Amino acid sequence: MSKRDVFEYALLRVVPRVERGECFNAGVLVYCRAKSFVAARTHLDESKLRALDPNADVVGVRAALRAVEGVCGGGDAAGQAAGDDAGRRFRWLIAPRSTVVQPGAVHSGLTADPEAEVERLLDLLVR
């Protein structure tokens, strides 16, 4: 059996009209300290978005989701977080905020492959 490491994850929720509190899952963030790994994968269901807000800014929501993926990836796409380690980037991304794209609660588990875990969770909880 391969070594399994602790990982943490949070869902990314789209809240088209913050004042109403309605939301749906549009991505997942995964962090594994042992592997210095952080990643986000997103999937925007436009029909859900339009059902909650027919006038929603689809382009803006997609840009916000891509920005989260960029911060996870580091480098130039991470902006001011470019020099931060994986853990700092994850903690920054899971900080509560009142915007259209919001992080959910943090959960944990064990995995031998954090990259595969991102895809598994996206399929299970988002798609």
Which pair of tokens denotes residue 118?
Answer: 């991102």
Domain that holds residue 45: 8-120
pLDDT in the model for residue 114: 96
The answer to pTM > 0.85 is yes
**What is the number of structural domains in the chain?**
1
In a domain, 29, yes or no: yes
In a domain, 3, yes or no: no
Give the residues across from 68 on adjacent strands. Answer: none
In a domain, 110, yes or no: yes
Looking at the chain, the number of H-run helices and the number of E-run strands are 4, 4
In a domain, 111, yes or no: yes
In a domain, 63, yes or no: yes
Over residues 94-108, the mean pLDDT reads 92
CB 72 within 8 A of CB 66: no
In a domain, 115, yes or no: yes
Over residues 19-27, the mean pLDDT reads 93
In a domain, 1, yes or no: no
Assess whether pLDDT exceeds 70 at residue 1.
no
Which pair of tokens denotes residue 75?
Answer: 């480098």
In a domain, 52, yes or no: yes
